[in-house]
Amino acid sequence: MNKENKTKHHQDMHHDHDHEHMNHGEHNRDHHDHSGHDGHGHDGHSAHMMADFKQRFWVVLVLSIPLAIIAPMLMHLLGYHIDFPGQGLLEFGLATIVFFYGGKPFLSHAWHELKSGVPGMMMLISLAIVAAYVYSVLTTFFISGMNYYFELASLILIMLAGHYIEMKAQMSAGNAVESLAKLLPSDAEVIHEDGSTSEVKVDQLKKGDRIFIRPGAKIPIDATVYEGHSEVDESMLTGESVPVLKEADAQIVGGAINGDGILKAIVSKTGTDTYLAQIINLVTDAQAQKSKAQSIADVWAKYLFYIALVVGIIAFVAWTAIDGYLMGLQFMVATFVIACPHALGLAVPLVNAESTSLAAESGLFIQNRIAFEDAHKIDKIVFDKTGTLTQGEFGVDEITVMDGKFNETSLLQIVYAIESQSEHPIARGIVKEAESRKIEKLQVADYHNLTGKGLEGTVDGKNIQILSPKATRQAGYTFDEEAFKASASKGRTVVFVIYDQVLVGAIAVSDIVREEAKQVVAQLQNKGIQVLMLTGDNQQVADSVGQALHLDGVFAEVLSDEKASKIKALQADGGRVAMVGDGVNDAPALAQADLGIAIGAGTDVARETGDIILVDSNIHDVLNILNLSKATKQKINQNLMWGAGYNVVAIPLAAGVFAGLGIVLGPALSAIIMSLSTVVCAVNARMLRRAYKKLQAN
């Protein structure tokens, strides 16, 4: 995918969703939606269609018993004879019910395929059962010969059973959305003004409602805790295996499970704004996207119909000439039935559904399936420093006063006023220090962010700027460069304070390198991937982190709007580049990269830009992405090889090419083999979990 298209994908994703989903629906109808279900995200409808197939199966089975008893073929094989007036009409009547009632799902979906201009497996099956039925009717009323009614009933019976089993396998492979939806309880306990509680339906909750959450209960909706404390299990939602302590002012999400404590909380989000609703939307979008492999499989499946049609007609003509109409019909029907565009059409969607489900369980959300599919090909990974390779929790190490008007406290007070307006990790560290000293917060006016340089605002009528070293130099201010270098060499980040156009001080803060970062960097390098770091910090701080982690390279003092050009330069050097950073602030760089990974999205995943969104800031998830991508690709290739290989072998067998060697597949056996071929794809897709875990263990 070129960069312009990829950027447009990020910008237009939500606008284009309906279009993408429509296409996916068409694919399902063409290649695997013979059951009438419109995709893996519509499990309720799929369950209804499964019940319909099951009912049709039992009706056809009952009707097939008398057909079997009076079938000419069985009488000949078992050596008994039944003959009574109207026998042919009885067979015709029973077979007609079987044909129209049992065959309806196949005939109706064949009609959809014909109208869409993309004939597939339903058309082949319908041609087979129509040929068998029409030939049998002709033998009953117009021409002499053995009818095919029992074979027709057997064929439809096996097809109904096979498709029921196959639909069940499909649902188990693509039930991510259904599983997520089941996480929410149906009821919530609301706290009234007088302190009493009562149960209401979750969909009746409004923002601002107070809810009571008992020990062990599922949290019904996103809310903010105002009383109580408890450890909450969020593993089903974020992949975080360790329960998270929740107390006053903490955010809790619907679907998580409360621990041993009692929590009282105020509803903060409802409807589509909730974390779980955002996840379901992301998973549905991911399942609706076609990957490159799927597009290729669709083309193969389309041509396979015509190949099977031609081979079936040739088999009919050849075997009719050799051994009569009945033998010609048998081989043609067997060829139509055994050909399985379905195995090809399902090869990729089933694996994609399973990988989406696995990713969601781990707190990884795929927004761009094509980028995810190629993730295992990445040669270089560029990490933004703060909050990824480092903890992102800064602490104040040193306050330097450069003007006699100030002391440490008064200098920190004006910086506190400005930094309290920002959510940057450095700002949070300074705010934390000021609050620990119980410093009064001053009012700020005209606050704004100086992109890539620092912050600016007005306090008590005086202009105050908090600038990076580079921006301070560019503004014409001078400071003790040796002292600055000494501080930076210790891994500290220094910000300078400009008060009313005068440089009055500096504050040094430091971030801590994550312990797990060393392990992840080493594992990535063992895979042959170059690991690089990109940061707005000065060169000394960048080098300090780079040396601690044994990185392959660092880019320092890079402004936010320069990050994308750095990624582009790395791509120009050759290879595929991944960028790991903040899904909001690093959006251009994430869009430019071949794989953009937005890390630390928290519970507001919908606002993130990135091919893949990580809920947590755990960089182990980057390894998980590469491993899941590799395992997914392996399973897709296996399914495609099976789908293609099966048809290459099965079609000639069914056409009677090897009849001279005694290998003959009748229509009923062909139907069984065809049904099993798709089940193999579904089972192999389910084994993705095992393959993924195996890669994680290595």
Taking residue 182's Cβ as centre, other Cβ atoms within 10 Å add up to 11
SS3 category, 37: coil
Q: What is the pLDDT of residue 46?
A: 66
What distances in angstroms separate CA 585 from CA 424, 470, 599, one per listed residue?
A: 10, 20, 11
Q: Could you give the CA distance from residue 574 to residue 108 in angstroms, rounded to a whole number? A: 51
Q: What is the pLDDT of residue 128?
A: 79
- R_g of the chain computed on alpha carbons: 33
Residue 504's H or E segment, with its range, is strand 502-510
214: left (phi over 0), alpha (psi -120 to 50) or beta: beta
Q: What is the pLDDT of residue 544?
A: 85
The model's pTM is 0.66
For residue 368, give the DSSP letter: -
For 243, the token pair is 């329960």
Q: Could you give the CA distance from residue 76 to residue 83 in angstroms, rounded to a whole number? A: 13
Q: Letter for the amino acid at 170? A: Q
For 133, the token pair is 């039925």
For 601, the token pair is 């999205």
SS3 category, 90: helix
Provide the β-strand partners of residue 364. Answer: 614
Say which residues have a Cβ less than 8 Å from residue 435's Cβ, sequence separation at least 6.
Answer: none
DSSP count for the chain of H helices, then E strands: 25, 22
Q: What is the pLDDT of residue 172?
A: 57
For 642, the token pair is 């099976």
Q: What's the helix, strand, coil split of the chain in %, to 5?
A: 55, 15, 25
Q: What is the pLDDT of residue 672?
A: 76
Q: Could you give the CA distance from residue 681 to residue 354 in angstroms, rounded to a whole number? A: 12
Q: What is the pLDDT of residue 28?
A: 37
Q: What is the pLDDT of residue 36?
A: 31
What domains are defined for the chain? Answer: 17-173+290-344+634-694 (no CATH), 184-281 (2.70.150.10), 364-390+513-615 (3.40.50.1000), 395-510 (3.40.1110.10)
CB-based burial, 52-86: b 16+ in 10 Å, e otherwise: bbeebbeebeebbeebeebbbeeeeeeeeeeeeee
β-bridge pairing 612-614 and 595-598: parallel
Catalytic residues: 384
Q: Are 221 and 200 in contact (CB under 8 A)?
A: no
CA 666 from chain centre, in angstroms, equals 41
DSSP assignment of 397-408: EEEEE-STT--H
Q: What is the pLDDT of residue 467?
A: 94
Residue ranges for the chain with pLDDT beneath 50: 1-5, 7-42, 173, 606
Q: Could you give the CA distance from residue 467 to residue 538 in angstroms, rounded to a whole number? A: 12
β-bridge pairing 454-459 and 462-467: antiparallel
Strands (E), 594-674: 595-598, 612-614
